[in-house]
Every structure is written in C-alpha cells, then in structure tokens.
C-alpha cells in the first residue's frame, strides 16, 4: 500500500493588517485581511480574497478565490462561498476562466450555513441562516430562503 501525500495547512503569503486575530487551525493563503478582523478556527481563505476591516469570520467557513468582503461584516459558522457554477456540467477542473467573482458590501451579516454563489451584495444586508443567495442583492434588507428572498427592507 502506498503512503499518502501529506499537505500542511497554515498561513502562507497572507497580508495581515493591524490587530488581526486568527484562531488556529486555519488554512489561509494569498489573501488580504483588514485591520481588526477576527478569523475563527477551521476556516479556509484562498488566494485573491480580500476581507475588509473589523470583520468577524466564524469557524468552519470557506471563502474561495475571487471573493471580496467589505468592512464591518459578519460571516457566521459554516458559510460557503462558491466561485464555480459547473457551467459545463461539472467542475471547471482547474480552468479558472470559468470561475466567477463575489462582492460583498459593507455592514453585511451572513448567517450560519448560508451558501453564497457568485453574486454582488450591496451594503446593509442581513442574510439569514441557511439561506442560498443565487442572484445579486441591490436593496438593503433582510433576506432568507432558498433562493434568497427579501423579507424586510431596511
């Protein structure tokens, strides 16, 4: 029986601004984390991700490449960001030209176990726990469901 190839997680090639707190273990590489942000344990943040100032990223969340999160945002436990919509019927298999970006505004709260597809979410939005965001959100308010629907305008 062959020995497995073991890869290590950690913090590699990350730009951390002042007063960032990270609870290990994490897997962060090639990303930028803004001042005063908190990153919980068991989080993966991939390259080309930018997270603004004073954000809180809770445990077990996955933030894939091409995601930008504004300042003063909250990302609950187990939130998944998606950049590959399987446009050819399956995974892009390394063809990053098929990946799409996600832009999260300022003062956005995303509840636990939400799934965020490649979208743009404006400032001042609350995404309920378990919500699946499939389309851009341009009106500040509270959203929930699968797919996300506006429950209350702010």
pLDDT tens digits along 55-100: 999 999 999 999 999 999 999 999 999 999 998 888 988 788 899 9
Cα-flanking dihedrals φ and ψ of residue 122, to 5°? -70, 175
Q: SS3 helix, strand, coil % of the chain, rounded to 5?
A: 0, 35, 65
> Which structure tokens are listed for 100?
């799409």
User: Are 96 and 114 spatial neighbours (Cβ–Cβ below 8 Å)?
Assistant: no
- All structural domains of the chain with their residue ranges: 11-85+96-153
| CATH of span 11-85+96-153 | 2.160.10.10
The 10s digit of each residue's pLDDT in 88-142 is 888 988 788 899 999 999 999 999 999 999 999 999 999 999 999 999 999 999 9
Q: What is the pLDDT of residue 7?
A: 87
The number of helices, as runs of H, and strands, as runs of E, in the chain is: 0, 21
Q: Which residues, 6+ apart, have CB-to-CB distance to 143 below 8 Å?
A: 125, 126, 127, 128, 131, 133, 137, 149, 150, 151
**How many other CB atoms are found less than 10 A from the CB of residue 143?**
22
Cα 48 to Cα 14, 129, 137: the distances in Å are 10, 26, 22
Nearest alpha carbon to residue 28 among 61, 5, 6, 52: 61
Secondary structure class of 19 (helix, strand, coil): coil
The residue to which tokens 């063809």 are assigned: 95
């Amino acid at each position: 029986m062959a020995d497995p190839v073991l890869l290590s997680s950690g913090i590699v090639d990350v730009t951390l601004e002042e007063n960032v707190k990270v609870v290990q273990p994490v897997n962060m590489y090639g990303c930028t984390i803004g001042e005063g942000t908190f990153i919980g344990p068991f989080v993966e943040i991939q390259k080309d991700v930018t997270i603004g100032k004073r954000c809180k990223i809770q445990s077990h969340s996955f933030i894939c490449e091409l995601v930008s999160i504004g300042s003063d945002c909250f990302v609950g436990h187990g939130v998944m960001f998606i950049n590959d919509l399987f446009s050819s019927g399956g995974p892009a298999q390394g063809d990053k030209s098929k990946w799409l970006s996600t832009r999260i505004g300022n003062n956005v709260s995303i509840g636990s176990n939400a799934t965020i597809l490649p979208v743009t979410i404006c400032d001042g939005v609350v995404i309920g726990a378990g919500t699946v965001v499939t389309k851009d959100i341009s009106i500040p308010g509270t959203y929930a469901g699968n797919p996300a629907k506006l429950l209350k305008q702010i």
